[in-house]
Structure 1
Amino acid sequence: MHTKKLKLGQGFRVAFEVRRAQCAEMVLAPGDSEGGDDNRHHGADQWLYVVDGRGVAIVETEGRKRRVALEPGRLLVIEKGERHEIRNTGTALLRTINFYYPPAFRRDGEPKGPGRKRASR
């Protein structure tokens, strides 16, 4: 068993991983974004759950970009290889919990394996 109280403070932090799954928290300030045209996880699916705040996910799937409104309770699965960006379009922090299968990041937040470099903030 593993347990951890999440801080959900600004930034990206890996909470922990178990065998072939990983949990991380990502919190974006109003106007901030993570990802972009070169952001994709080549070997992992990302399950993003919105805890609080408002935003938009822009995901390129099957050759076209789709926009998905992010609000509390929204669950979004970004499949491995899909380019994506997460933007905070609200006036408060956008708080998300993210699960990666298999794990996509090292404990320090840097990508594992054949992923891309993290976008600058």
Structure 2
Amino acid sequence: MKCKALRFGKGFRVAFDARRAQAAEMVIAPGDSEGGPDNRHRGADQWLYVVAGTGLAIVEDRRKALKAGSLLVIERGERHEIRNTGRTLLKTLNFYHPPAFDADGELLSPGRS
């Protein structure tokens, strides 16, 4: 069993991973974004849950408004960007299957978990 209290400090931070999945927290300041037109996870699906704030997800050129309680699945290989469109921090809890990042938050190569 693993357990961790999440802080939701600014930026992206891997919480921990198990053999087949990984949890991470991401906080985006108002007006900022993460990802971009070439951002994709070739080897992992990303499940993004909005804990607080409002934003916009752009996935393969499709736009979806985000708010607290929203759950978004970004499938492996889909290009995506998450933008904070609100006045407060956009706080998200993300799960990757299989793990997509190393402990320092660097992207793993496809097929490596």
Secondary structure of the residue aligned to 1:15 is strand
Secondary structure of the residue aligned to 2:4 is coil
Provide the rounded CA distance (Å) in 1 between the counterparts of 2:72 and 2:110. Answer: 23
1:77 matched residue in structure 2? 73
The TM-score with structure 2 as length reference comes to 0.96
Provide the rounded CA distance (Å) in 1 between the counterparts of 2:53 and 2:108. Answer: 28
Unpaired segments ≥5 residues, structure 2 = none
Alignment of 1:5-16 (within 5 A): 5-16=5-16
- Does 2:46 align with 1:46? yes
Provide the rounded CA distance (Å) in 1 between the counterparts of 2:110 and 2:18. Answer: 20
The TM-score with structure 1 as length reference comes to 0.90
- Does 2:100 align with 1:104? yes
Report runs of 4+ in structure 1 exceeding 4 Å deviation. Answer: none
The residue type equivalent to 1:74 in the other structure is S
Note the C-alpha offset of 1:108: 0.3
Give deviations 1:40-74, integer Å, cap 9, x for gaps. 000000000000000000000xxxx2111110000
Note the C-alpha offset of 1:114: 3.8
Unpaired segments ≥5 residues, structure 1 = 116-121
The alignment's C-alpha RMSD in Å is: 1.0
- Paired residues, number: 111
Alignment of 1:9-28 (within 5 A): 9-28=9-28
Provide the rounded CA distance (Å) in 1 between the counterparts of 2:11 and 2:81. Answer: 15
Overall identity of the aligned pairs, in %: 72
Provide the rounded CA distance (Å) in 1 between the counterparts of 2:110 and 2:97. Answer: 15
